Amino acid sequence: MSQITLTFPDGNTKQVPAGITPAEVAEGIAPSLAKKAISATVNGAHYDLAWPIDADASIAINTMQDDEPALELIRHDLAHVMARAVQALWPDVKVTIGPVRDNGWFYDFDRAEPFTPEDLGEIEAKMKEIINARDPVRTEVWSRADALKYYEEQGEPYKVELVNRIPEDQDIRMYWHGDWQDLCRGPHLQHTGQLPADAFKLTHVAGAYWLGDNTRPMLQRIYGVAFKNRNDLKAWQVMMEEAAKRDHRKLGREMDLFHMQEEAPGQVFWHPNGWTIYTTLQDYMRRQQARGGYVEVNTPQVVNRKLWEASGHWENYQENMFIVEVDEDHAREKTINALKPMNCPCHVQIFNHGLKSYRDLPLRMAEFGSCNRYEPSGALHGIMRVRGFTQDDAHIFCTEDQIESETKKFIDFLAQIYADLGFEKWTIKLSTRPEKRVGTEESWDRVEAALGNACKAAGYDFEIQEGEGAFYGPKLEFTLTDAIGREWQCGTHQVDPNLPERLDANYIGQDGEKHRPVMLHRAVLGSFERFIGILIENSEGRLPLWLAPRQVVVAAIVSDADDYCREVAAALQAKGIRAEADLRNEKINYKVREHSVGKVPYILACGMKEVEERTVSVRKLGEKQTFGATLDEIVERLTQEALAPDLR
């Protein structure tokens, strides 16, 4: 048998027979390592301990100390253990697929009856039995014909389909957990006893389409989470509770920001507090846009179908549009209109009004554009996914040569805004040409390169999302990370040569001839509704002072201080601070608690001591320690602190 050379992480090499398995390699190093081993990393690929190595390779034996392979295997093996438990409890259930995802895994089953929460408890118990049985995990490579025959006999139609979907040149691998078997590419642990019986939890059940295709049957999906040990599971549970505390729907109620009701699904009733955040943010964006060289416009809500036909929305986007018919009784003839789902066609109308010269380009046209989209009912979520919303939208009309510099300028613009709003960490994704597309290869080459170059020029790396661009052009997506590590895609920047073509936009070039401009669709926040939701969740309602709807409450400790409290509040209000006096017949404890729960950044308490000294006792949100300040000092301090970041 021929020899191969294995290279270990410490640089040592060893001659071994070809076809050796990582399990044997581990055994050769130390029997204790062989026992602890969970998998191997061979030439960078994750290997099962039972897979033979046929050629020279670098190898590292993994144990539970190695986080990434350990979690991958724990979650993946638990997916199989769960499927086995389900079939043990309900033999008629058909198994499908069960990948690792997020902090755990899911597995989809075909079962007439949905699973109940009680079922989940039973499944968990059965899984623990399986883990405790320490069943060996075995792997075998089967022929396609054998696999098909086996699954047909077993009555597992989904597995038959999966086998048929495996590419011809790929091995068909079967894994046995004890006497239960599943189709899987592996790798897996040595035996189920390596799984942590106390560090996993089945979380919920949900419907999911087979292969993610809404024309295929809906299956029952069970989600689970798993970690290396019980403490990590607990940490995850704490994290989930933290996330629940930040829920903007809950905070929106507690802070009296907005409400929604069934007569207007997917639309927001902004209360005074919430609307203050909204307008403050909008004022800030308006100043930024003015600085960024944008002109602001405003366009109609209800627009005749003819324009949507011309723009292509009628054909491609009608499902998502609110259609408005005007009846003969009211109009001379029946017309069909739609609420605008996007602003771009209207912006082209403004561009087209009057002749444009190359000297007008780039023309950056911004609108706080109120749009309505008939989003599918299941998609609605608080103020994050709504049917009526306002975008911080703009379209940059420019030449193809200007795309790169305009893109860079936009990235700089967006970076400043994200920084001002407290988001330090964000990433860029570049989506490239999809399979179905318009335009020449050469123009896609040029435009994709322009976007990439602009990112680099602005000093940012980007990740490529192959084939995820729009049919008319590539796009950049800007995703920010919030305080608890969740990601939100907000900013977008899309190159569109198509709409100017469809709506016949043109400008007169230096040569005196008509030319077609390109449009860049771009947004920084996305929508005010969603972005405010993100701001709330990111800050847990503790918005920075300049954005807080109620910035200061002046709370009277005794009623003899009422007049002074009014005076303090008035002095702050005179400086533009959103201050109010709380003169209610309540104890200071009560007032402090209520305004703390209400996330008011500053409480200024005043009793007779403060009245006599003309001071205030300052309590900052989240801090137990109070401090004293004179009236003049606190007015000066808060006036400075309450300035928007761009006005400091």
Partner RNA sequence: GCCGCAGUAGCUCAGUGGUAGAGCGCACCCUUGGUAAGGGUGAGGUCGGGAGUUCAAUCCUCCCCUGCGGCACCA
Distance, first Cα to last Cα, the chain = 76
- Do you find a cis peptide bond into 17, omega within 30 degrees of 0? no
Helix (H), strand (E) counts: the chain: 20, 34
Q: What minimum distance in Å lies between the beta carbon of 219 and RNA?
A: 9
From the candidates 80, 173, 246, 395, give the one annotated as an active-site residue.
Answer: 395
Phi first, then psi: what are they for 153, rounded to 5°? -65, -35
Q: What minimum distance in Å lies between the beta carbon of 464 and RNA?
A: 18
Q: What minimum distance in Å lies between the beta carbon of 388 and RNA?
A: 12
- Which tokens hold the place of 431? 């989506």
Q: What minimum distance in Å lies between the beta carbon of 17 and RNA?
A: 45
For residue 220, indicate whether it is catalytic. no
302-319 core/surface letters (b: 16 or more CB in 10 A; e: else): ebebebbeebbbbeebee
Start-end of H helices in 313-472: 313-316, 344-352, 403-420, 441-458
For residue 391, indicate whether it is catalytic. yes
Q: What minimum distance in Å lies between the beta carbon of 311 and RNA?
A: 7
Position 415, amino acid: A
Q: Which residues fall within 8 angstroms of residue 343, CB to CB, at 6 or more apart?
A: 299, 367, 369, 371, 391, 393, 395
From the candidates 76, 188, 385, 475, give the one annotated as an active-site residue.
Answer: 475
For residue 395, indicate whether it is catalytic. yes
392 in Cβ contact with 441 (< 8 Å) = no
- Which tokens hold the place of 175? 């894994």
Strand residue runs (E) in 468-600: 475-481, 487-496, 507-508, 514-515, 518-527, 552-556, 579-582
Phi first, then psi: what are they for 596, rounded to 5°? -70, -45
For residue 84, indicate whether it is catalytic. no
Phi first, then psi: what are they for 172, rounded to 5°? -105, 115
* Binding residues for RNA (CB under 7 A): 114, 204-209, 212-214, 218, 220-221, 249, 253, 260, 262, 265-266, 312-313, 316-317, 342, 344, 375-382, 470-471, 499, 521, 556-560, 585-590, 592-593, 596-597, 603, 605-610, 617, 619, 621-622, 624, 626
Position 59, amino acid: I
Q: What minimum distance in Å lies between the beta carbon of 120 and RNA?
A: 11
Q: What minimum distance in Å lies between the beta carbon of 560 and RNA?
A: 6
Phi first, then psi: what are they for 502, rounded to 5°? -60, -35
Type and span of the H or E element at 590: helix 588-597
- Which tokens hold the place of 251? 């905070």
Closest to RNA by CB, 89 or 597? 597
Q: How far apart are CA 143 and CA 149, in angstroms?
A: 10
341 in Cβ contact with 313 (< 8 Å) = yes
From the candidates 87, 190, 194, 391, give the one annotated as an active-site residue.
Answer: 391
Closest to RNA by CB, 114 or 155? 114
For residue 234, indicate whether it is catalytic. no
Closest to RNA by CB, 177 or 595? 595
Which phi-psi region, left, alpha or beta, contains residue 555 (left: φ > 0; alpha: ψ -120 to 50)? beta
Q: At what angle do helices 631-641 and 562-574 cross, to 10 degrees?
A: 40
Evaluated on CA atoms 645, 646, 647, 648, the torsion sign reads positive
Closest to RNA by CB, 223 or 462? 223
From the candidates 135, 393, 496, 582, give the one annotated as an active-site residue.
Answer: 393
Q: How far apart are CA 244 and CA 242, in angstroms?
A: 5
Closest to RNA by CB, 265 or 509? 265
How big is the chain by its Cα radius of gyration, in Å? Answer: 31
Which phi-psi region, left, alpha or beta, contains residue 46 (left: φ > 0; alpha: ψ -120 to 50)? beta
Closest to RNA by CB, 189 or 225? 225
Q: How far apart are CA 156 and CA 70, in angstroms?
A: 30
- Which tokens hold the place of 353? 């009004």
Closest to RNA by CB, 179 or 213? 213
Q: What minimum distance in Å lies between the beta carbon of 382 and RNA?
A: 5
Closest to RNA by CB, 216 or 234? 216
For residue 521, indicate whether it is catalytic. yes
Closest to RNA by CB, 344 or 451? 344
- Which tokens hold the place of 611? 């009245």
Q: What minimum distance in Å lies between the beta carbon of 188 and RNA?
A: 24
Tell me the three state secondary structure of residue 579.
strand
Tell me the three state secondary structure of residue 529.
helix
For residue 371, indicate whether it is catalytic. no
Q: What minimum distance in Å lies between the beta carbon of 112 and RNA?
A: 9
Closest to RNA by CB, 178 or 439? 439
Q: Which residues are catalytic?
A: 344, 373, 391, 393, 395, 475, 521
